[in-house]
């Protein structure tokens, strides 16, 4: 039990005179890393210009693992044969050494930002793969040796699986599950095995990861699983899978996140969320296809964003036995690779924590596994014959909305200051959702927010608030 759980427990059994108020900053001196002490490390990807006094404070308060966003990539360190540029990686590593924060190494082999020269001769022709392997081995040994005192794990191979595999058709076999990169052209999938072998030789203590994006996608997660299984079955030393986590406010679903974690956990003992951000558009993954340009972040987008973050962390907490670290990809929106207009992180472009930050940090552990009692009944204030909204004996409210064209539906009621309850579309086409906890007994006004537009709930009676007709719901006294 951490300090916060003990305090909540004391609070529940009535041993303290002060109110339960973990949303307050003066309660326990806790940043994210402290709040997650009993769960996993909380990491951040940094670049060399992230070390202003204000940023250093944010890092030290909130994070206990650091990844170099770019500085430890082969193309940065060893761009040409014989040319070594350690400056960026050393600066970040030395800062981490000084502050005793251990690092995730990112990355040794990737088709992008790679030391391309390793694959070519002076005429620009691909070298025999044996020559490439010699160079790769020497590179991996040199880099891992330099940082073995501070780096506890490495993304050895990054993004080697294809996003779309051509299915078998007629007598045509299915396409390759691998990304058709130059590396693959030169070596087939053997470069994956070789990279892991060299990394294990170079630092037997470091945990070795395969890292990829869209790792919750059903097809891609199967391809990742199959590749790692094949490698492990032939003795390749893979310790863990990195799920990058470049998500968005509409997805992935928490069912898909859980399914992927369980699938990978059946294969490897370590899962890291390596590059977390949640963008405000509908793109997903490690490639930047579209970036919002100076669009205003409307309040409903902020609610969806905070909701996706809180649901994700709730899900990740359930898998703390296998998840060692959750790393954010950049410190604040100011320097996110997605641009600040995508609103991706927990700190905004002014480095101020968003509401999502407080919600992720100030979770109440006892809520994580508490499910509402399934004795829901139609609310006493429904329109005649309407089943939904429903309320249960504990004060939870459940909503069902028919809005086939909507991209998002939010009910403006929530127990925890998150601004609302986000509904998710079920297989039956309805939008469904239950409040995250019990609401205060008594009458509540509320409305629906469909893609930013405000509507009343057709299932509930309407009541005149100070300025407009709102839907009403009665939460019965316990």
343 binds ligand 9MR (CB under 6 A): no
Set 69, 197, 275, 470: catalytic member = 275
Report in angstroms how near the CB of residue 335 gets to ligand 9MR at its nearest: 9
Q: Classify the C-alpha dihedral 120-121-126-129 as positive or negative.
A: negative
Which of 244, 302, 310, 382 binds ligand 9MR (CB under 6 A)? It is 244
Q: Are strands 323-328 and 442-446 parallel, antiparallel or unpaired?
A: unpaired
Long-range contacts of the stretch 385-390 (C-beta < 8 A, 24+): 386/458, 386/459, 386/460, 387/459, 388/459, 389/457, 389/459, 389/460, 389/473
275 binds ligand 9MR (CB under 6 A): yes
Set 159, 197, 350, 416: catalytic member = 159
Burial class (CB in 10 A: 0-12, 13-18, 19+), 14: exposed
- As a whole number of Å, the end-to-end CA separation of the chain is 30
If binding means CB under 6 A, how many residues of this protein chain bind ligand 9MR?
10
Which CA distances in Å does 14 have to 8, 11, 23?
Answer: 10, 5, 19
Which of 43, 242, 286, 389 binds ligand 9MR (CB under 6 A)? It is 286
Q: Are strands 246-248 and 270-279 parallel, antiparallel or unpaired?
A: parallel
69 is catalytic: no
Nearer to ligand 9MR, 34 or 275 (CB): 275
Long-range contacts of the stretch 365-370 (C-beta < 8 A, 24+): 365/4, 365/5, 365/8, 365/317, 366/5, 366/8, 366/9, 366/12, 367/436, 367/437, 368/314, 368/317, 368/318, 369/318, 370/437
Which of 27, 37, 102, 113 binds ligand 9MR (CB under 6 A)? It is 113
Residues sharing a CB contact under 8 Å with residue 182, sequence separation 6 or more, in sequence order:
111, 116, 119, 126
Report in angstroms how near the CB of residue 228 gets to ligand 9MR at its nearest: 18
Is there a contact between 154 and 199 (Cβ–Cβ < 8 Å)? Answer: yes
Which of 37, 70, 291, 456 binds ligand 9MR (CB under 6 A)? It is 70
333 binds ligand 9MR (CB under 6 A): no
Report in angstroms how near the CB of residue 283 gets to ligand 9MR at its nearest: 12
Nearer to ligand 9MR, 45 or 238 (CB): 45
394 is catalytic: no
Which of 69, 324, 436, 457 binds ligand 9MR (CB under 6 A)? It is 69
| Contact string (CB under 6 A) for ligand 9MR, positions 195-224, x = contact | ------------------x-----------
Which of 133, 300, 313, 337 binds ligand 9MR (CB under 6 A)? It is 337
Is there a contact between 284 and 276 (Cβ–Cβ < 8 Å)? Answer: no
Report in angstroms how near the CB of residue 214 gets to ligand 9MR at its nearest: 11
112 binds ligand 9MR (CB under 6 A): yes
Angle between helices 129-147 and 190-202 (to 10 degrees): 30
247 binds ligand 9MR (CB under 6 A): no
Q: Which of 240, 205, 424, 434 is nearest to 323 (CA)?
A: 240
Is there a contact between 276 and 328 (Cβ–Cβ < 8 Å)? Answer: yes
Report in angstroms how near the CB of residue 146 gets to ligand 9MR at its nearest: 19
| Contact string (CB under 6 A) for ligand 9MR, positions 136-175, x = contact | ----------------------x-----------------
Nearer to ligand 9MR, 328 or 446 (CB): 328
Q: Interface residues with ligand 9MR (CB under 6 A)?
A: 69-70, 112-113, 158, 213, 244, 275, 286, 337
Residues annotated as catalytic (active site), given as ranges: 159, 275
């Amino acid at each position: 039990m951490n300090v916060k759980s003990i305090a909540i427990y004391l609070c529940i059994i009535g041993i303290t005179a002060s109110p339960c108020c973990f949303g307050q900053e003066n309660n326990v001196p806790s940043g994210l890393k402290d709040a997650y002490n009993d769960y996993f490390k909380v990491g951040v990807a940094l670049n060399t210009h992230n070390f202003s006094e204000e940023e250093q404070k944010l890092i030290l308060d909130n994070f206990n693992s650091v990844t170099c966003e770019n500085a430890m990539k082969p193309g940065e360190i060893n761009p040409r044969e014989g040319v070594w540029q350690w400056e960026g990686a050393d600066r970040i590593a030395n800062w981490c050494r000084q502050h005793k924060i251990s690092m995730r190494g990112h990355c040794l082999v990737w088709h992008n930002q790679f030391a391309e020269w390793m694959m070519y001769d002076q005429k620009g022709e691909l070298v025999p793969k044996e020559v490439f392997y010699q160079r790769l081995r020497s590179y991996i040994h040199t880099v891992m040796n330099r940082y073995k005192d501070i780096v506890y794990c490495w993304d050895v191979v990054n993004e080697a699986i294809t996003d779309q595999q051509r299915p078998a058709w007629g007598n045509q076999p299915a396409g390759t599950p691998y990304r058709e990169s130059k590396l693959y052209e030169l070596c087939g999938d053997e470069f994956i095995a070789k990279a892991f072998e060299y990394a294990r030789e170079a630092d037997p203590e470091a945990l070795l990861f395969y890292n990829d994006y869209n790792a919750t996608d059903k097809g891609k997660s199967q391809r990742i699983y199959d590749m790692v299984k094949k490698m492990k079955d032939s003795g390749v030393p893979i310790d863990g899978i990195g799920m990058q986590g470049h998500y968005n406010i509409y997805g992935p679903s928490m069912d898909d996140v859980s399914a992927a974690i369980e699938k990978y956990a059946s294969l490897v003992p370590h899962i890291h969320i390596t590059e977390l951000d949640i963008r405000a558009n509908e793109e997903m993954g490690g490639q930047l296809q579209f970036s919002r340009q100076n669009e205003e972040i409307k309040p409903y987008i902020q609610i969806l964003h905070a909701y996706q973050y809180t649901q994700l962390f709730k899900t990740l907490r359930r898998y703390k036995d296998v998840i060692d670290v959750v790393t954010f990809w950049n410190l604040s929106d100011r320097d996110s690779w997605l641009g600040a207009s995508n609103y991706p992180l927990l700190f905004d472009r002014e480095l101020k924590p968003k509401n999502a930050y407080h919600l992720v940090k100030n979770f109440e552990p006892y809520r994580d596994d508490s499910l509402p009692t399934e004795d829901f009944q139609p609310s006493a204030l429904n329109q005649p014959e309407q089943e939904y909204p429903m309320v249960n004996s504990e004060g939870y409210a459940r909503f069902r909305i028919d809005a086939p064209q909507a991209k998002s539906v939010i009910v403006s009621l929530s127990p925890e200051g998150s601004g609302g309850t986000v509904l998710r579309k079920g297989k039956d086409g309805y939008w469904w959702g239950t409040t995250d906890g019990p609401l205060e007994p008594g009458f509540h006004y509320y409305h629906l927010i469909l893609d930013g537009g405000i509507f009343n709930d057709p299932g509930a009676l309407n009541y005149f608030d100070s300025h407009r007709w709102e839907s009403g719901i009665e939460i019965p006294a316990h």
